[in-house]
Structure 1
Amino acid sequence: MPKKVDHDERRRHIAEAVLRIAGREGLDRATLRDVAVEAGISLGSVQHYFGNKDEMLRYVVGYLGEQVTARIVAGIPDPPGPFLVRSFLLSMAAEMLPLDARRKAERRAGQAFAARAVDVPELVGELREGDRWLRARVAELIVQAQRDGEMAAGLDAERESDALLAMIDGLGSDLLLRVREPEQALATVRYHLDRLTVR
């Protein structure tokens, strides 16, 4: 009896191969053929799921966002209850910064997707949607912290969300370029969050 294939699992397996290639050699090397070799499957198997490279990359952008989001959300207490927004935002920053091999590969892949998106409108849409979602969630957390008395009432939550995420983005680039050490990057995020927190 033929083995039943889990199609979602196969797509994720292909996405992981793309991320490894993009993290190691850049996105240009992530051709369907190279991805098939990296994934240890036939080119026909890759083409069964993705008709072309842009279709594959659209899936990988969504997959990458889901992976990072899942790690961030794992920091929310279960069952949900009172928790310090500052601690959660620091954990979120740590998941988004390239502090280990996996997160470095994700960061390199994310930068490569952003560069490629300039010429692929469908990728721009995926990236823009993910960015809007993240900025809105961070702003909501800041508003929650203001209601709970953890953060200053006079803060503009949307602008603070933009500032924090822009800082994380810039620090991520510094870490990839080795301009800054991981502990320096985390200390900068801590410093910024401390300035927002009511003492």
Structure 2
Amino acid sequence: MPKKVDHDERRRHIAEAVLRVAGRDGLDGATLRDVAVEAGISLGSVQHYFRNKDEMLRYVVGYLGEQVTARIVAGMRDHAAPGPVRSFLLSMAAEMLPLDDRRRAERRAGQAFTARAVDVPELGEALRYGDRWLHGRVAELIGRGGRDGELRPELDAEREAVVLLAMIEGLATDILLGMRDPGEATETVRYHLDRLTPQGS
């Protein structure tokens, strides 16, 4: 009896191969053939799921966003009730910064997708959707922290969300380029969040 193929699992398997290739060699190295070799499957198997490179990359952008978002959402569930918003935001930053091999590969792949999205509108929309979702959640948490007295009540939550996420993006690039080490980047985020708390807290 032929073995039943889990098509969603096979797509995820291919996506993981793309992330490894893109994280190591950039998106130029993520051809269908090279991804097939990385995934340990035939080129025909990759083409069964993705007709061309752009279709494959559109899927991987969504997959990458889901992976990072799932880790962030897991942290949000832990902070669903009134609690340490600042601690969650620091944990969120840690998930987004390239602090280990997995997150470094995700960050390199994400930056490669961003560069390619300039010329591929479908990729750009997928990235913008993820950014809007994350910005909304961060602004919501900062606003809650202000109302609960954990953060300064006069903060503009929308603008602070932009500042925090832009800081994380910049620090992530600094780590990849060797301009900051992971510990320094994490402490910089901690320093910034300390400045959002009321004096004497």
TM-score bin, normalised by smaller chain: over 0.9
Instruction: Find the aligned partners of 1:58 and 1:153 in 2 and give their Cα distance.
Output: 40
Contact 1:21–1:35 (CA under 8 A) maintained in structure 2: yes
**Counterparts in 2 of 1:135-150, with a 5 A limit?**
135-150=135-150
Aligned residues: 199
Corresponding position of 2:17: 17
Coordinate RMSD, CA, aligned: 1.1
Aligned to 2:169: 169
1:165–1:114 CA distance, 2 compared to 1 (3 A)? same
- Give distance in 1, aligned partners of 2:46 and 2:29: 15
SS in 1 for 2:146: helix
Q: How does 1:52-63 map to 2 (within 5 A)?
A: 52-63=52-63
Write out aligned runs for 1:5-84 (5 A). 5-78=5-78, 80-84=80-84
Alpha-carbon separation, structure 1, partners of 2:77 and 2:46: 38
Q: State whether residues 22 and 29 of structure 1, in contact with CA within 8 Å, keep that contact through their aligned partners in structure 2.
A: yes
Give percent identity, aligned residues only: 78
Residues 115-162 of structure 1: CA distance to partner in whole angstroms, max 9, x if unpaired? 001110100100111111111110001111112111111111010000
Point out where structure 2 has 5 or more consecutive residues left out of the alignment: none
1:98 maps to what in 2?
A: 98
In the superposition, the TM-score normalised over structure 2's length comes to: 0.96
Paired residue type of 1:160: E
SS in 1 for 2:151: coil
Q: CA contact under 8 A between 1:36 and 1:42: conserved in structure 2?
A: yes
Q: Partner residue of 2:195?
A: 195
Matches within 5 A, 1:150-161: 150-161=150-161
TM-score (norm 1): 0.97
The letter for the 2-side match of 1:112 is A
Task: Kindly provide the amino acid, as one letter, of the partner of residue 49 in structure 1.
Answer: Y
Kindly indicate whether the alpha-carbon contact (under 8 Å) linking 1:71 and 1:95 is maintained by their aligned counterparts in 2: yes
Partner SS for 1:119: coil
Kept after mapping to 1: 8 A contact 2:79/2:85: no
Contact 1:15–1:63, Cα closer than 8 Å, also in 2: yes
**Contact in 1 for aligned 2:85/2:141 (Cα 8 Å):** yes
Deviation at 1:78, TM superposition (A): 4.8
Matching residue's letter, 2:6: D
The CA distance in 1 between the partners of 2:26 and 2:172, in whole Å, is: 17
Q: Which runs of 4+ in 1 moved over 6 A?
A: none
- 1:78–1:187 Cα change, 3 Å: closer
Change in CA separation of 1:107 and 1:79 when aligned onto 2, cut-off 3 Å: closer
Tell me what 1:125 maps to: 125
- Amino acid paired to 1:181: D
1:79 Cα offset (Å): 8.6
How far apart, in 2, do the equivalents of 1:27 and 1:156 lie?
Answer: 38
Contact (CA 8 Å) 2:93, 2:168: kept in 1 or not? yes
